[in-house]
A and B are shown apart, each in its own frame.
Chain A
């Protein structure tokens, strides 16, 4: 691969109870590119994504072997400071989950987690991050109203801004547009394309067209295995594996 890799998944196996969900995953995700994890529902895409910042901690009965490395730091390991590691990674979930606070504090929360700011600095930063996701103009007059009052599309952008405010290097996104209307999803897509210059993005999706539009690299998964991982153009124009061809032809959907 021509690029330096930032996430390295090394022989990762994951069992939930007795079900073997992820089977010997080995991939490297390049820095400052948009990598899309593609595959039919239930193939383990989301699970793989959640392994990357160890949100599997929240689920009982999960057994993991192998490891994931962010830079050089292992994710699974007794000595890992998972909180510090998670700060390097923002997460955008399927449905937006704004914090139960007002819009302003939703952004300020992430900032205050990491350091002390004066009132004016904080105001500045909140405005900056809201502008970065094109939300500022829509909410500047009601920063003190609860975040739930926003529309779902606005909430998703708010969550993205909140994630950016923690100043991560990597953004993990789990089907970030699946609950959104076409206009909002386009807004998010554009954001992603723009962010890919400075951030490493890993996005899970099952929408082929979306992957085609924005992906730099594609990881194709099927039934818990990585079938192939290649640059997006090669992947779509010249699929190598039989299963990929079938999927692109729409056989699994």
Chain B
């Protein structure tokens, strides 16, 4: 009886079976694959063109003087001078903002993944809100930073810029680290706690190690946003033609400098925008390579 029923079902499945990879099915497969190939080539191509044009035009207008000299009073009048102040400004600003955001972000994501495991609804809301503010345009942060600055009676300064950029990259940092920490197997936490570790030992001895490569990626993401963004610092850092000497100095950042150079009526200065873009790309490249090297050394200890 049971055997009959089984055979009946099998014949039904056999009757309804479509042939594999012939006619329409095959055409569909080929079509989809072509589409995907075109999309990939297009994207890589466009990125390649951007990079190559920055490098090509950048190198031809690049001179070592640009790295060694401040803008001084004559840069935009084409009387010489470099962009050292903008490079330094950008690096100071984004490195300190990234470090600050890393410390706060780590604390937040550890809290979310180790301490808040018993309140899933609150966690869900927190993640939703963080995703929401991830999408807020940076100019809004700029405006918010400005009103904060006014409220505290600060002047435009590097410090104000650092605070604004930190706020701006925090959601990115927290959510990126959070996503990695979510992948830590439940059994690992259980085993570690069962050995009599406290939750803080679980966090900084096990979670940090297991998630180290992911944290590096998060730092890179955040750093990239921080150093490449012009709008968030437009109102709060002021402008300066010399290298910053302290937290309260005004600074010009690279993206803002590039913006000003492109806006300049002189063609020679417009060309320098490419050189500046080239330098910006190089800074990001160096940081990426460095952190990838560091994270690779820890990758092998990761479990699963």
Contact = CB atoms under 8 A, between A and B. Distances in A.
Interface of A: 50, 53, 55, 57-60, 83-84, 86-87, 89-91, 93-95, 97-102, 109-110, 113-114, 146-148, 159, 162-163, 166, 172
Interface stretch (B8-16, B125-133, B164-172, B185-193): B185-193
A24 B194 CA distance: 25
27 contacts: A55-B194, A58-B193, A59-B117, A60-B117, A83-B197, A83-B198, A86-B193, A89-B194, A91-B195, A97-B191, A97-B303, A99-B192, A99-B209, A100-B206, A100-B209, A100-B302, A101-B301, A109-B195, A113-B195, A113-B196, A147-B301, A148-B300, A148-B304, A159-B191, A162-B195, A163-B195, A166-B196
A55 B188 CA distance: 12
B190 A100 contact: no
Contacts of A93: 187, 190-191
Contacts of B193: 55, 58, 86
B46 interface: no
B303 A98 contact: yes
Given A55-B193, A55-B194, A166-B195, A97 B187 contact: yes
Interface of B: 117-120, 185-198, 201, 205-206, 209-210, 300-304
A101 B196 contact: no
A5 B210 CA distance: 39
Given A57-B118, A97-B187, A99-B209, 9 more contacts: A50-B190, A58-B118, A58-B193, A60-B117, A87-B196, A91-B190, A91-B195, A100-B209, A163-B194
B257 to A, nearest CB: 43
Given A83-B196, A87-B196, A166-B195, A97 B188 contact: yes
Nearest to B205: A109
A243 to B, nearest CB: 27
A58 B195 contact: no
Residue among B196, B201, B206, B301 with most chain A CB within 10 A: B196
A148 B302 contact: yes
A53 B193 CA distance: 9
A9 to B, nearest CB: 18
B36 to A, nearest CB: 34
Contacts of A159: 191
A213 B198 CA distance: 36
A159 B197 CA distance: 15
Nearest to B302: A100
A100 B120 contact: no
B168 to A, nearest CB: 32
Nearest to B300: A146
Contacts of B302: 100, 148
Nearest to B199: A83
Top-5 shortest CB links A-B: A87-B196, A91-B194, A100-B210, A97-B188, A86-B196
A102 B209 CA distance: 11
B191 A146 contact: no
Contacts of A57: 118
A58 B186 contact: yes
Given A113-B196, A162-B195, A102 B303 contact: no
Given A91-B194, A100-B206, A60 B118 contact: yes
Contacts of B118: 57-60
Contacts of B185: 97
A209 to B, nearest CB: 26
A97 B194 CA distance: 12
Contacts of B194: 53, 55, 86, 89-91, 163, 172
A62 B178 CA distance: 24
Nearest to A54: B193
Contact of B190 (A58, A84, A113, A147): A58
Nearest to A95: B187
A109 B195 CA distance: 10
A220 to B, nearest CB: 25
A60 B301 contact: no
A162 B242 CA distance: 58
Contacts of B205: 109
A162 B193 CA distance: 13
A50 B193 CA distance: 12
Contacts of B190: 50, 55, 58, 91, 93, 97
Nearest to B196: A87
A94 B120 CA distance: 25
B113 to A, nearest CB: 11
Contacts of B120: 60
A117 B192 CA distance: 20
A99 B194 CA distance: 13
